[in-house]
Amino acid sequence: MLLEFQREFAAAIGVPAEGAMRVYRNTVLSGCVDALRANYPIVTRLFGDQMFEAVAVEYATENPPREPVLALYGGAFPDWLEEQMWIWDVAYVPDVARIERLYIEALFAVDAEPLEIGALTGPDEGWRELRLALHPATRFDWLAMPGMSIWLAQREEVERKIDVDWQPEGVLLTRPALDVVSMSLNRAGHRFLFGIRRGEAVGTAAVAATTLCPETDIRSLFTSLVNAGAFAAPSPRSLP
Amino acid sequence: MTSAAGVGLKAEHFAEALATPAADLWFEVHAENYMVAGGARLAMLEAIRRERPISLHGVGMSLAGAADPDADHLAALTRLVERFEPALVSEHLAWSRLDGRCFPDLLPVPRTNEVLSRLDANIGRVQDALGREILIENPTHYLALRDHQWSETSFLAELARRSGCKLLIDINNVAVGAHNLAFDAAEWLKAIPGKLVGEIHLAGHVLDAEGTLLIDSHDAPVSDDVWQLYESFIARSGPVPTLIERDGNLPPFADLMAERDRAQSVIRGVLALAA
Protein backbone atom coordinates (compact mmCIF):
# COMPACT_ATOMS: atom_id res chain seq x y z
CA MET A 1 0.00 0.00 0.00
CA LEU A 2 2.70 2.50 1.02
CA LEU A 3 4.77 1.76 -2.08
CA GLU A 4 1.74 2.26 -4.32
CA PHE A 5 0.98 5.52 -2.55
CA GLN A 6 4.54 6.74 -3.10
CA ARG A 7 4.49 5.81 -6.80
CA GLU A 8 1.15 7.54 -7.38
CA PHE A 9 2.37 10.62 -5.53
CA ALA A 10 5.65 10.74 -7.50
CA ALA A 11 3.71 10.44 -10.77
CA ALA A 12 1.34 13.22 -9.71
CA ILE A 13 4.17 15.69 -9.01
CA GLY A 14 6.02 14.59 -12.16
CA VAL A 15 3.70 16.68 -14.31
CA PRO A 16 2.46 20.27 -13.96
CA ALA A 17 0.02 20.39 -11.05
CA GLU A 18 -2.24 22.75 -9.14
CA GLY A 19 -2.70 23.66 -5.49
CA ALA A 20 -0.81 21.58 -2.93
CA MET A 21 0.66 19.27 -5.53
CA ARG A 22 2.19 22.28 -7.22
CA VAL A 23 3.92 23.20 -3.93
CA TYR A 24 5.55 19.76 -3.78
CA ARG A 25 6.45 19.79 -7.47
CA ASN A 26 7.99 23.27 -7.19
CA THR A 27 9.99 22.34 -4.10
CA VAL A 28 11.44 19.26 -5.81
CA LEU A 29 12.35 21.18 -8.97
CA SER A 30 13.72 24.22 -7.18
CA GLY A 31 15.87 21.95 -5.01
CA CYS A 32 17.45 20.58 -8.19
CA VAL A 33 17.76 24.01 -9.84
CA ASP A 34 19.35 25.54 -6.73
CA ALA A 35 21.88 22.70 -6.58
CA LEU A 36 22.76 23.14 -10.28
CA ARG A 37 23.01 26.92 -9.84
CA ALA A 38 25.37 26.42 -6.90
CA ASN A 39 27.54 24.00 -8.88
CA TYR A 40 27.53 25.93 -12.18
CA PRO A 41 27.68 29.63 -11.20
CA ILE A 42 29.59 30.74 -14.32
CA VAL A 43 27.22 28.90 -16.66
CA THR A 44 24.39 30.59 -14.74
CA ARG A 45 25.98 33.97 -15.41
CA LEU A 46 26.63 33.19 -19.09
CA PHE A 47 23.01 32.11 -19.65
CA GLY A 48 21.36 34.63 -17.36
CA ASP A 49 19.28 33.47 -14.41
CA GLN A 50 16.00 33.04 -16.27
CA MET A 51 17.42 30.95 -19.10
CA PHE A 52 19.54 28.93 -16.69
CA GLU A 53 16.45 28.06 -14.66
CA ALA A 54 14.58 26.86 -17.75
CA VAL A 55 17.59 24.77 -18.83
CA ALA A 56 18.09 23.39 -15.32
CA VAL A 57 14.44 22.32 -15.00
CA GLU A 58 14.74 20.44 -18.27
CA TYR A 59 17.98 18.76 -17.15
CA ALA A 60 16.56 17.89 -13.71
CA THR A 61 13.45 16.38 -15.28
CA GLU A 62 15.59 14.10 -17.46
CA ASN A 63 18.29 13.50 -14.82
CA PRO A 64 16.75 13.59 -11.34
CA PRO A 65 19.06 13.21 -8.32
CA ARG A 66 20.03 9.64 -7.46
CA GLU A 67 21.20 10.49 -3.95
CA PRO A 68 20.10 12.95 -1.29
CA VAL A 69 23.48 14.70 -1.19
CA LEU A 70 23.27 17.45 -3.80
CA ALA A 71 26.81 18.84 -3.34
CA LEU A 72 27.90 16.83 -6.40
CA TYR A 73 24.58 16.87 -8.30
CA GLY A 74 24.76 17.57 -12.01
CA GLY A 75 27.74 15.46 -13.06
CA ALA A 76 26.17 14.78 -16.46
CA PHE A 77 25.19 18.44 -17.04
CA PRO A 78 28.17 19.38 -19.30
CA ASP A 79 27.65 16.41 -21.64
CA TRP A 80 23.88 16.96 -21.59
CA LEU A 81 24.38 20.62 -22.55
CA GLU A 82 26.52 19.56 -25.48
CA GLU A 83 23.70 17.36 -26.80
CA GLN A 84 21.17 20.19 -26.89
CA MET A 85 20.42 21.50 -30.38
CA TRP A 86 20.40 25.13 -29.28
CA ILE A 87 23.89 24.93 -27.75
CA TRP A 88 25.46 25.62 -31.18
CA ASP A 89 24.91 29.33 -30.62
CA VAL A 90 27.00 29.17 -27.44
CA ALA A 91 29.17 26.16 -28.22
CA TYR A 92 31.81 27.14 -25.64
CA VAL A 93 29.40 26.73 -22.69
CA PRO A 94 29.72 22.92 -22.28
CA ASP A 95 33.49 23.27 -21.83
CA VAL A 96 32.99 26.05 -19.26
CA ALA A 97 30.57 23.68 -17.52
CA ARG A 98 33.22 20.93 -17.61
CA ILE A 99 35.65 23.22 -15.79
CA GLU A 100 33.02 24.09 -13.19
CA ARG A 101 32.45 20.37 -12.69
CA LEU A 102 36.17 19.74 -12.17
CA TYR A 103 36.19 22.66 -9.72
CA ILE A 104 33.36 21.17 -7.63
CA GLU A 105 35.01 17.74 -7.63
CA ALA A 106 38.31 19.29 -6.48
CA LEU A 107 36.47 21.37 -3.85
CA PHE A 108 34.93 18.34 -2.14
CA ALA A 109 37.69 15.78 -2.74
CA VAL A 110 39.51 14.01 0.08
CA ASP A 111 41.99 16.23 1.93
CA ALA A 112 45.63 15.24 1.46
CA GLU A 113 49.09 16.74 1.77
CA PRO A 114 50.53 17.84 -1.59
CA LEU A 115 54.01 16.92 -2.78
CA GLU A 116 56.34 19.84 -1.93
CA ILE A 117 59.14 20.72 -4.31
CA GLY A 118 61.56 20.64 -1.38
CA ALA A 119 60.83 16.93 -0.91
CA LEU A 120 62.51 16.26 -4.26
CA THR A 121 66.11 16.67 -3.17
CA GLY A 122 67.73 13.68 -4.83
CA PRO A 123 69.85 13.76 -8.01
CA ASP A 124 67.90 14.36 -11.22
CA GLU A 125 68.62 10.82 -12.38
CA GLY A 126 66.57 9.52 -9.48
CA TRP A 127 63.47 11.42 -10.55
CA ARG A 128 63.24 9.54 -13.80
CA GLU A 129 62.30 6.38 -11.98
CA LEU A 130 60.05 8.16 -9.51
CA ARG A 131 56.39 7.22 -9.59
CA LEU A 132 54.12 9.92 -8.28
CA ALA A 133 50.45 9.78 -7.34
CA LEU A 134 48.14 12.59 -8.35
CA HIS A 135 46.70 14.53 -5.43
CA PRO A 136 43.18 13.18 -4.75
CA ALA A 137 41.75 16.61 -5.64
CA THR A 138 43.60 16.83 -8.95
CA ARG A 139 41.32 17.03 -12.01
CA PHE A 140 42.50 17.84 -15.52
CA ASP A 141 41.11 17.75 -19.02
CA TRP A 142 41.84 18.79 -22.59
CA LEU A 143 39.06 20.93 -24.00
CA ALA A 144 38.23 21.76 -27.60
CA MET A 145 37.13 25.27 -26.63
CA PRO A 146 39.05 27.86 -24.59
CA GLY A 147 36.75 27.31 -21.64
CA MET A 148 39.50 28.08 -19.14
CA SER A 149 40.05 31.60 -20.48
CA ILE A 150 36.32 32.30 -20.37
CA TRP A 151 35.96 30.73 -16.92
CA LEU A 152 38.86 32.74 -15.50
CA ALA A 153 37.56 35.99 -16.97
CA GLN A 154 34.06 35.35 -15.61
CA ARG A 155 35.39 34.47 -12.18
CA GLU A 156 37.01 37.90 -11.94
CA GLU A 157 33.44 39.23 -12.09
CA VAL A 158 34.43 42.25 -14.14
CA GLU A 159 32.58 43.41 -17.20
CA ARG A 160 35.19 43.50 -19.90
CA LYS A 161 35.66 42.33 -23.39
CA ILE A 162 37.46 39.01 -23.25
CA ASP A 163 40.23 38.56 -25.76
CA VAL A 164 39.85 34.84 -26.34
CA ASP A 165 42.20 32.85 -28.50
CA TRP A 166 39.82 30.25 -29.95
CA GLN A 167 42.16 27.30 -29.61
CA PRO A 168 41.85 24.08 -27.63
CA GLU A 169 43.34 24.31 -24.17
CA GLY A 170 44.09 22.16 -21.17
CA VAL A 171 42.93 22.76 -17.64
CA LEU A 172 44.16 21.64 -14.23
CA LEU A 173 42.24 22.12 -11.00
CA THR A 174 43.38 20.84 -7.64
CA ARG A 175 43.16 21.67 -3.94
CA PRO A 176 46.46 21.27 -2.04
CA ALA A 177 44.88 22.91 1.04
CA LEU A 178 41.43 24.53 1.45
CA ASP A 179 41.37 26.65 -1.71
CA VAL A 180 40.96 25.27 -5.23
CA VAL A 181 43.90 26.16 -7.49
CA SER A 182 43.57 26.39 -11.27
CA MET A 183 46.20 26.33 -14.01
CA SER A 184 46.09 26.33 -17.79
CA LEU A 185 47.83 23.39 -19.40
CA ASN A 186 49.49 23.17 -22.77
CA ARG A 187 49.65 19.84 -24.62
CA ALA A 188 52.86 18.87 -22.86
CA GLY A 189 51.41 19.56 -19.41
CA HIS A 190 48.31 17.57 -20.21
CA ARG A 191 50.34 14.65 -21.58
CA PHE A 192 52.61 14.67 -18.54
CA LEU A 193 49.69 14.49 -16.06
CA PHE A 194 47.98 11.89 -18.25
CA GLY A 195 51.13 9.74 -18.00
CA ILE A 196 51.35 10.13 -14.23
CA ARG A 197 47.69 9.21 -13.87
CA ARG A 198 48.22 6.00 -15.82
CA GLY A 199 51.19 5.09 -13.64
CA GLU A 200 54.13 6.09 -15.80
CA ALA A 201 57.39 7.00 -14.11
CA VAL A 202 58.22 10.73 -14.15
CA GLY A 203 60.94 10.13 -16.78
CA THR A 204 58.60 8.22 -19.10
CA ALA A 205 55.87 10.88 -18.81
CA ALA A 206 58.48 13.61 -19.41
CA VAL A 207 59.78 11.95 -22.57
CA ALA A 208 56.22 11.55 -23.88
CA ALA A 209 55.46 15.22 -23.14
CA THR A 210 58.61 16.50 -24.82
CA THR A 211 58.11 14.19 -27.80
CA LEU A 212 54.67 15.74 -28.27
CA CYS A 213 55.98 19.30 -27.75
CA PRO A 214 59.76 19.40 -28.36
CA GLU A 215 60.02 23.06 -27.28
CA THR A 216 58.86 22.18 -23.74
CA ASP A 217 61.04 23.12 -20.77
CA ILE A 218 60.16 19.96 -18.88
CA ARG A 219 61.93 21.02 -15.68
CA SER A 220 59.92 24.22 -15.39
CA LEU A 221 56.70 22.40 -16.37
CA PHE A 222 57.26 19.78 -13.68
CA THR A 223 58.10 22.47 -11.09
CA SER A 224 54.94 24.44 -11.88
CA LEU A 225 52.78 21.31 -11.60
CA VAL A 226 54.35 20.43 -8.24
CA ASN A 227 53.90 24.01 -7.02
CA ALA A 228 50.25 23.98 -8.08
CA GLY A 229 49.75 20.96 -5.83
CA ALA A 230 48.98 18.45 -8.57
CA PHE A 231 50.72 15.54 -6.82
CA ALA A 232 50.16 13.86 -3.49
CA ALA A 233 52.95 13.78 -0.92
CA PRO A 234 54.52 10.34 -1.28
CA SER A 235 55.60 8.16 1.59
CA PRO A 236 59.24 9.04 2.41
CA ARG A 237 60.53 5.69 1.13
CA SER A 238 59.37 6.26 -2.43
CA LEU A 239 61.45 9.43 -2.86
CA PRO A 240 64.88 9.21 -4.46
CA MET B 1 23.17 20.06 25.62
CA THR B 2 21.44 22.38 28.04
CA SER B 3 18.05 23.67 27.01
CA ALA B 4 19.19 26.76 25.16
CA ALA B 5 18.42 28.43 21.87
CA GLY B 6 20.50 27.88 18.73
CA VAL B 7 20.72 29.09 15.16
CA GLY B 8 20.92 27.31 11.82
CA LEU B 9 24.51 27.71 10.61
CA LYS B 10 25.03 29.27 7.19
CA ALA B 11 28.41 29.46 5.44
CA GLU B 12 27.85 33.20 4.90
CA HIS B 13 27.84 33.69 8.68
CA PHE B 14 30.80 31.48 9.46
CA ALA B 15 33.21 34.16 10.76
CA GLU B 16 30.59 35.81 12.97
CA ALA B 17 29.26 32.46 14.19
CA LEU B 18 32.78 31.48 15.21
CA ALA B 19 33.49 34.81 16.93
CA THR B 20 30.24 35.47 18.80
CA PRO B 21 30.61 35.36 22.58
CA ALA B 22 26.91 34.47 23.14
CA ALA B 23 26.53 32.12 26.11
CA ASP B 24 25.00 28.65 25.56
CA LEU B 25 24.68 29.17 21.81
CA TRP B 26 24.59 26.08 19.59
CA PHE B 27 24.31 25.55 15.84
CA GLU B 28 22.39 23.18 13.60
CA VAL B 29 23.36 22.08 10.10
CA HIS B 30 21.75 19.87 7.47
CA ALA B 31 23.70 16.63 7.66
CA GLU B 32 23.58 16.10 3.87
CA ASN B 33 25.49 19.35 3.22
CA TYR B 34 28.47 17.86 5.04
CA MET B 35 28.43 14.41 3.43
CA VAL B 36 31.44 15.25 1.28
CA ALA B 37 34.93 13.75 1.37
CA GLY B 38 36.90 16.86 2.34
CA GLY B 39 37.42 20.57 1.85
CA ALA B 40 36.66 23.90 3.45
CA ARG B 41 33.05 23.16 4.32
CA LEU B 42 34.02 20.32 6.66
CA ALA B 43 36.94 22.37 8.02
CA MET B 44 34.49 25.16 8.84
CA LEU B 45 32.23 22.81 10.76
CA GLU B 46 35.26 21.42 12.63
CA ALA B 47 36.15 24.95 13.71
CA ILE B 48 32.60 25.68 14.89
CA ARG B 49 32.41 22.34 16.68
CA ARG B 50 35.54 23.15 18.69
CA GLU B 51 33.66 26.15 20.12
CA ARG B 52 30.01 25.05 20.25
CA PRO B 53 27.64 22.08 20.45
CA ILE B 54 26.12 21.24 17.09
CA SER B 55 22.98 19.44 15.97
CA LEU B 56 22.88 17.33 12.80
CA HIS B 57 19.53 17.66 11.04
CA GLY B 58 19.05 15.10 8.27
CA VAL B 59 16.75 15.71 5.32
CA GLY B 60 17.41 12.66 3.14
CA MET B 61 16.91 9.40 5.08
CA SER B 62 13.40 8.87 3.66
CA LEU B 63 12.25 7.23 6.89
CA ALA B 64 8.57 7.19 5.92
CA GLY B 65 9.23 5.36 2.64
CA ALA B 66 8.52 1.70 2.02
CA ALA B 67 12.23 0.91 1.64
CA ASP B 68 14.86 0.40 4.33
CA PRO B 69 17.20 3.36 4.94
CA ASP B 70 19.82 3.49 2.16
CA ALA B 71 22.95 1.73 3.43
CA ASP B 72 25.40 4.25 1.92
CA HIS B 73 23.46 7.19 3.26
CA LEU B 74 23.23 5.67 6.72
CA ALA B 75 26.98 4.97 6.64
CA ALA B 76 27.63 8.60 5.67
CA LEU B 77 25.47 9.83 8.55
CA THR B 78 27.24 7.47 10.94
CA ARG B 79 30.64 8.86 9.87
CA LEU B 80 29.43 12.42 10.47
CA VAL B 81 28.07 11.54 13.90
CA GLU B 82 31.33 9.84 14.86
CA ARG B 83 33.40 12.77 13.61
CA PHE B 84 31.37 15.67 15.02
CA GLU B 85 29.79 14.10 18.11
CA PRO B 86 26.62 16.20 17.79
CA ALA B 87 24.47 16.97 20.81
CA LEU B 88 21.34 16.19 18.77
CA VAL B 89 20.60 14.15 15.65
CA SER B 90 17.26 14.57 13.91
CA GLU B 91 15.36 13.48 10.81
CA HIS B 92 11.91 13.94 9.30
CA LEU B 93 8.64 12.09 9.19
CA ALA B 94 8.73 12.07 5.40
CA TRP B 95 9.97 10.20 2.35
CA SER B 96 12.30 11.47 -0.35
CA ARG B 97 13.58 8.36 -2.14
CA LEU B 98 11.73 6.01 -4.47
CA ASP B 99 12.83 3.47 -7.09
CA GLY B 100 16.39 4.79 -7.29
CA ARG B 101 15.38 8.42 -7.51
CA CYS B 102 15.73 11.11 -4.81
CA PHE B 103 13.41 14.07 -4.33
CA PRO B 104 14.90 17.15 -2.66
CA ASP B 105 11.72 17.57 -0.60
CA LEU B 106 9.95 16.07 2.41
CA LEU B 107 7.02 14.17 0.92
CA PRO B 108 3.93 13.18 2.93
CA VAL B 109 2.37 9.86 3.94
CA PRO B 110 -1.03 8.82 5.26
CA ARG B 111 -0.89 8.02 9.00
CA THR B 112 -1.74 4.35 8.72
CA ASN B 113 -0.73 1.37 10.85
CA GLU B 114 1.48 0.22 7.98
CA VAL B 115 3.33 3.56 7.87
CA LEU B 116 3.70 3.56 11.66
CA SER B 117 5.34 0.13 11.52
CA ARG B 118 7.65 1.18 8.66
CA LEU B 119 8.70 4.33 10.50
CA ASP B 120 9.29 2.40 13.71
CA ALA B 121 11.46 -0.14 11.85
CA ASN B 122 13.41 2.51 9.88
CA ILE B 123 14.01 4.70 12.92
CA GLY B 124 15.16 1.59 14.76
CA ARG B 125 17.72 0.85 12.02
CA VAL B 126 19.08 4.39 12.18
CA GLN B 127 19.23 4.44 15.97
CA ASP B 128 20.96 1.03 15.99
CA ALA B 129 23.55 2.20 13.43
CA LEU B 130 24.24 5.43 15.30
CA GLY B 131 24.02 3.87 18.73
CA ARG B 132 21.86 6.73 19.98
CA GLU B 133 18.38 8.18 20.03
CA ILE B 134 17.27 10.46 17.22
CA LEU B 135 14.56 13.10 17.02
CA ILE B 136 11.78 13.00 14.42
CA GLU B 137 10.29 16.22 13.05
CA ASN B 138 6.58 16.66 12.39
CA PRO B 139 5.87 17.45 8.71
CA THR B 140 4.42 20.56 7.13
CA HIS B 141 0.99 19.95 5.60
CA TYR B 142 -0.25 21.27 2.29
CA LEU B 143 -2.56 18.43 1.33
CA ALA B 144 -5.40 16.69 3.16
CA LEU B 145 -4.55 13.04 2.51
CA ARG B 146 -7.23 10.40 2.76
CA ASP B 147 -6.78 7.10 4.55
CA HIS B 148 -5.39 8.41 7.86
CA GLN B 149 -5.97 5.92 10.65
CA TRP B 150 -4.41 8.08 13.36
CA SER B 151 -4.60 11.69 14.45
CA GLU B 152 -1.23 13.31 13.95
CA THR B 153 -0.48 13.95 17.61
CA SER B 154 -1.34 10.42 18.72
CA PHE B 155 0.64 9.04 15.75
CA LEU B 156 3.73 11.01 16.81
CA ALA B 157 3.38 10.02 20.46
CA GLU B 158 2.92 6.35 19.55
CA LEU B 159 5.90 6.46 17.20
CA ALA B 160 8.08 7.87 19.99
CA ARG B 161 6.79 5.23 22.41
CA ARG B 162 7.45 2.34 20.02
CA SER B 163 10.79 3.39 18.55
CA GLY B 164 12.30 5.19 21.50
CA CYS B 165 12.89 8.29 19.40
CA LYS B 166 12.14 11.79 20.66
CA LEU B 167 10.16 14.42 18.80
CA LEU B 168 11.40 17.57 17.13
CA ILE B 169 8.35 19.79 17.07
CA ASP B 170 8.52 22.42 14.34
CA ILE B 171 6.00 24.98 15.54
CA ASN B 172 6.08 26.79 12.21
CA ASN B 173 5.11 23.52 10.50
CA VAL B 174 2.19 23.24 12.91
CA ALA B 175 1.07 26.82 12.21
CA VAL B 176 1.41 26.37 8.42
CA GLY B 177 -0.43 23.03 8.49
CA ALA B 178 -3.16 24.46 10.73
CA HIS B 179 -3.80 27.21 8.20
CA ASN B 180 -3.66 24.94 5.15
CA LEU B 181 -5.75 22.08 6.58
CA ALA B 182 -7.91 24.20 8.92
CA PHE B 183 -7.07 22.76 12.33
CA ASP B 184 -6.28 24.49 15.62
CA ALA B 185 -2.52 24.83 16.12
CA ALA B 186 -2.79 25.55 19.86
CA GLU B 187 -4.95 22.46 20.47
CA TRP B 188 -2.55 20.37 18.35
CA LEU B 189 0.41 21.49 20.47
CA LYS B 190 -1.48 20.82 23.73
CA ALA B 191 -1.89 17.20 22.64
CA ILE B 192 1.88 16.67 22.35
CA PRO B 193 3.36 15.34 25.62
CA GLY B 194 6.14 17.75 26.56
CA LYS B 195 8.39 14.97 27.86
CA LEU B 196 8.64 13.48 24.36
CA VAL B 197 9.96 16.72 22.84
CA GLY B 198 13.75 16.99 22.51
CA GLU B 199 13.93 20.03 20.26
CA ILE B 200 11.78 22.82 18.82
CA HIS B 201 12.15 24.54 15.44
CA LEU B 202 10.98 28.08 14.81
CA ALA B 203 10.96 29.57 11.30
CA GLY B 204 9.12 31.96 9.02
CA HIS B 205 6.55 31.28 6.33
CA VAL B 206 4.90 33.09 3.42
CA LEU B 207 1.54 33.05 1.66
CA ASP B 208 1.68 31.51 -1.83
CA ALA B 209 0.98 33.50 -4.99
CA GLU B 210 -2.72 32.53 -5.05
CA GLY B 211 -3.12 33.68 -1.47
CA THR B 212 -4.52 30.34 -0.30
CA LEU B 213 -1.68 28.16 1.05
CA LEU B 214 0.96 29.09 3.58
CA ILE B 215 4.40 27.89 2.49
CA ASP B 216 7.03 26.71 4.97
CA SER B 217 9.60 28.86 3.20
CA HIS B 218 12.17 29.57 5.95
CA ASP B 219 12.81 32.91 4.25
CA ALA B 220 11.25 35.34 6.72
CA PRO B 221 11.49 36.13 10.44
CA VAL B 222 9.49 33.92 12.83
CA SER B 223 5.89 35.19 12.77
CA ASP B 224 4.05 36.60 15.80
CA ASP B 225 1.57 33.72 15.90
CA VAL B 226 4.42 31.19 15.96
CA TRP B 227 6.08 33.09 18.82
CA GLN B 228 2.82 32.95 20.78
CA LEU B 229 2.42 29.23 20.18
CA TYR B 230 6.04 28.74 21.23
CA GLU B 231 5.68 30.68 24.47
CA SER B 232 2.57 28.71 25.42
CA PHE B 233 4.24 25.42 24.60
CA ILE B 234 7.38 26.18 26.61
CA ALA B 235 5.31 27.39 29.55
CA ARG B 236 3.67 23.96 29.61
CA SER B 237 6.57 21.66 28.63
CA GLY B 238 9.44 23.41 30.40
CA PRO B 239 12.68 24.38 28.66
CA VAL B 240 13.49 22.63 25.36
CA PRO B 241 16.46 23.29 23.00
CA THR B 242 15.06 25.65 20.38
CA LEU B 243 16.39 26.46 16.91
CA ILE B 244 15.87 29.52 14.72
CA GLU B 245 15.82 28.18 11.14
CA ARG B 246 16.51 30.43 8.19
CA ASP B 247 17.35 29.30 4.67
CA GLY B 248 16.24 32.04 2.24
CA ASN B 249 16.53 35.87 2.22
CA LEU B 250 19.39 35.42 4.64
CA PRO B 251 19.59 38.44 6.99
CA PRO B 252 22.72 39.63 8.84
CA PHE B 253 23.87 37.23 11.55
CA ALA B 254 22.91 39.79 14.20
CA ASP B 255 19.25 39.66 13.07
CA LEU B 256 19.15 35.88 13.47
CA MET B 257 20.83 36.24 16.85
CA ALA B 258 18.14 38.72 17.91
CA GLU B 259 15.50 36.06 17.19
CA ARG B 260 17.64 33.50 18.94
CA ASP B 261 17.94 35.78 22.00
CA ARG B 262 14.16 36.11 22.11
CA ALA B 263 13.80 32.32 22.24
CA GLN B 264 16.57 32.19 24.84
CA SER B 265 14.69 34.66 27.04
CA VAL B 266 11.52 32.55 26.77
CA ILE B 267 13.50 29.53 27.96
CA ARG B 268 15.14 31.56 30.73
CA GLY B 269 11.71 32.77 31.78
CA VAL B 270 10.38 29.27 32.43
CA LEU B 271 13.66 28.26 34.09
CA ALA B 272 13.26 31.22 36.48
CA LEU B 273 9.67 30.22 37.22
CA ALA B 274 10.73 26.68 37.99
CA ALA B 275 13.53 27.80 40.31
| Helices A218-228 and A187-197, axial angle in degrees (round to 10) | 60
Going by pLDDT thresholds of 50, 70 and 90, the confidence category of residue A166 is confident
Q: How confident is the model at residue A160 (pLDDT cuts 50, 70, 90)?
A: low
B50 and chain A in contact, CB less than 8 A: no
Q: Cα–Cα distance between A38 and A44 in angstroms, integer?
A: 9
> What's the CA gap between A67 and A51, in Å, rounded?
26
Q: What percentage of chain A carries pLDDT values higher than 70?
A: 93
Half-sphere exposure of B215 (CA within 13 A, CB side): 20
Q: What is the 3-state secondary structure (H, E, C) of B130-175?
A: HCCCCEEECCCCCCCCCCCCCCHHHHHHHHHHHHCCEEEEEHHHHH
Among partner residues B36, B65, B142, which is closest to A23 by beta-carbon distance? B142
Q: pLDDT at residue A124 above 80? A: no
- Model confidence at A148, in pLDDT bands (50, 70, 90)? confident
**Residue A12 above 60 pLDDT?**
yes
Residue B250 has φ and ψ, to the nearest 5°, of -60, 120
Question: Is the ipTM value over 0.90, yes or no?
Answer: yes
Domain ranges of chain A: 1-90, 111-240
With a cut of 80, say whether residue B265 has pLDDT above it.
yes
A177 touches chain B (CB under 8 A): no
Q: How large is the average pLDDT for residues B171-177? A: 98
- β-strand partners of B88: B55
Whether pLDDT at A239 is above 60: no
- Write the residue in A64, A107, A179 that is nearest to B101 by C-beta: A64
CA closest to A10 among chain B residues: B98
B96 and A27: CB-CB below 8 Å? no
For residues A131-147, average pLDDT: 93
Query: How confident is the model at residue B209, as a pLDDT?
Result: 87
Chains A, B: CB contacts within 8 A come to: 114
CB contact under 8 A, B112 and A1: yes
- Residue among B40, B77, B39 at smallest CA distance from B59: B77
> What is the reported pLDDT for A85?
93
Looking at domain B5-274, its CATH superfamily turns out to be Divalent-metal-dependent TIM barrel enzymes (3.20.20.150)
The mean per-residue pLDDT over the stretch A6-32 comes to 96
**Closest to A103 in 3D by CA, of A66, A72, A81:** A72
pLDDT of residue A119: 83
- Which residues in chain B are contacts of A20 at CB distance < 8 A? 142-143, 180, 213
Cβ contact B95–A6 (<8 Å): yes
Nearest-by-Cβ selection for A3 from B66, B96, B103: B66
SS3 B90: strand
> Where exactly are the structural domains of chain B?
5-274
- Rounded CA-CA distance A234/A201 in Å is 14
Residue A238: pLDDT over 90? no
Query: Given a cut of 90, is residue A229 above it in pLDDT?
Result: yes
Single pTM value for the model: 0.94
Q: Is the Cβ pair B105, A19 closer than 8 Å?
A: no
Q: Which of B63, B103, B114 to mutate to test the interface with A (most CBs of A within 10 A)?
A: B103
Assess whether pLDDT exceeds 90 at residue B31: yes
- Touching check for A48 and chain B: CB below 8 Å? no
Inter-chain CB proximity B99 and A69 less than 8 Å: no
Q: How many CB atoms lie within 10 A of CB B221?
A: 18
Q: To the nearest whole percent, how much of chain B has pLDDT over 90?
A: 95
